[in-house]
């Protein structure tokens, strides 16, 4: 038997054990965002409110489908981007102000004015389209 629950305006289907059923399109959107996020699977699952085991099962199914030559559902165009931000204590005289980007692979970029922000955005777009 399938029931429905309402959460914040969205109606979600549940099975007989009370588990929420996620539509395939939403699963694919989440997996696409995970690939672009640079986060670990555990952190990403926690961030979007999924149990890690559920997320890991989805990821494994997608990987197996790709290895078998099948194509997953076409990627939906989605403007949401995940970014992990950590706010630290106020700067000291020895550390410059601004924004510090920590890139996957250990790279860092210190941004202290709007001109540098434009360049950093271009860098991030380039890395997204052609990862190292």
Annotate 18-32 with DSSP letters as a single string: -PEEPPHHHHHHHHH
Examine residue 48 and state whether it is found in any structural domain, yes or no.
Answer: yes
Report if residue 92 sits inside a domain. no
Q: Is the residue at 61 inside a domain?
A: yes
Q: pTM for the complete prediction?
A: 0.46
The pLDDT, as a whole number, for residue 5 is 44
> Quick check: is 117 in a domain?
yes
Residue-wise pLDDT tens digits, 70-108: 655 555 455 556 666 666 666 565 656 777 777 767 778
The answer to whether position 68 is within a domain reads yes
Q: Is residue 44 part of a domain?
A: yes
Give the total number of structural domains in the chain. Answer: 2
Residues 70 and 107 reside in one and the same domain: no
Same domain flag for 71 and 112: no
Angle at 83 between CA 80 and CA 41, to 5 degrees: 95
Predicted local distance difference test score (pLDDT) of residue 103:
73
Q: Are residues 70 and 29 in the same domain?
A: yes
Q: Is the residue at 120 inside a domain?
A: yes
pLDDT digits (tens, 9 = 90+) for 26-69: 889 999 989 888 888 999 988 888 889 999 999 999 999 888 88
**Can you count the helices (H) and strands (E) in the chain?**
4, 5
- How far is Cα 107 from Cα 116, in angstroms, rounded to an integer? 16
Banded pLDDT at 113 (limits 50, 70, 90): confident
pLDDT score of 83: 64
* 32 shares its domain with 75: yes
* Together in a domain, 75 and 104: no
Same domain (yes/no): 103, 61:
no
The answer on 36 and 71 residing in a single domain is yes
Q: What's residue 49's pLDDT?
A: 85
CA distance 125 to 102: 15
- Structural domain including 107 reads 99-129
């Amino acid at each position: 038997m399938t029931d429905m629950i309402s959460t914040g305006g969205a109606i979600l289907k549940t099975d007989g054990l009370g588990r929420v059923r996620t539509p395939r399109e939403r699963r694919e959107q989440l997996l696409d965002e995970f690939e672009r996020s640079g986060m670990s699977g555990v952190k990403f699952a926690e961030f979007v409110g999924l149990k890690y085991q559920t997320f890991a099962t989805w990821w494994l199914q997608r990987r197996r489908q790709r290895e078998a030559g099948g194509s997953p559902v076409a990627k939906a165009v989605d403007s949401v981007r995940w970014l992990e931000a950590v706010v630290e204590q106020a700067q000291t005289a020895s550390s410059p102000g601004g924004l510090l980007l920590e890139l996957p692979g250990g790279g860092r970029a210190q941004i202290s004015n709007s001109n540098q922000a434009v360049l950093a955005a271009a860098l991030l777009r380039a890395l997204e389209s052609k990862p190292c």
